[in-house]
């Protein structure tokens, strides 16, 4: 379960931000999660609840998840298309010379703190 490792990284990042900014509490963190990142959002939030309770600064902190759509670029015709619908084959020209542009990311987008 790589979700636990991801959560540890997020927690470490938030704790560092908390120290740098003399925060007393972080109430929520918004995560951008790529549609084809391979991360299971329910596992991520379960791991988050367990991890957040281990740190005073994060206790009660909610994790909000925004899904980033997966988009593939066709190198042959230059058009983009939804990856999940069409996979590797371009629906416009039939080429397999494609690559994923977005949808594999995991980013901390926003932190609500005081």
* Residue 47 assigned to a binding site: no
Q: Is the dihedral of CA 88, 89, 92, 98 positive or negative?
A: positive
How far is Cα 64 from Cα 111, in angstroms, rounded to an integer?
A: 10
3-class DSSP assignment, residue 31? strand
* Residue 74 assigned to a binding site: yes
Helix, strand, coil tally for the chain in percent (to 5): 30, 30, 35
* Residue 61 assigned to a binding site: no
Start-to-end CA distance of the chain, whole Å, equals: 32
Phi then psi dihedrals of residue 59, to 5 deg: -55, 125
Annotated binding site, which residues?
A: 2, 74, 77, 90, 93
Annotated binding site for Ni(2+), which residues?
A: 2
Annotated binding site for Zn(2+), which residues?
A: 74, 77, 90, 93
């Amino acid at each position: 379960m790589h979700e636990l490792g991801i959560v540890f990284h997020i927690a470490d990042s938030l704790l560092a931000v908390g120290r740098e900014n003399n925060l007393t509490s972080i109430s929520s963190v918004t995560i951008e999660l790529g549609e084809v990142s391979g991360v299971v959002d329910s596992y991520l939030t379960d791991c988050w609840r367990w991890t957040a309770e281990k740190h005073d600064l994060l206790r009660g902190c909610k994790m909000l998840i925004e899904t980033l759509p997966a988009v593939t670029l066709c190198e042959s015709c230059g058009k983009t298309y939804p990856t999940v619908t069409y996979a590797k084959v371009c629906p416009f020209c039939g080429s397999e010379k494609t690559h994923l542009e977005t949808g594999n990311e995991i980013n901390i987008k926003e932190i609500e703190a005081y």
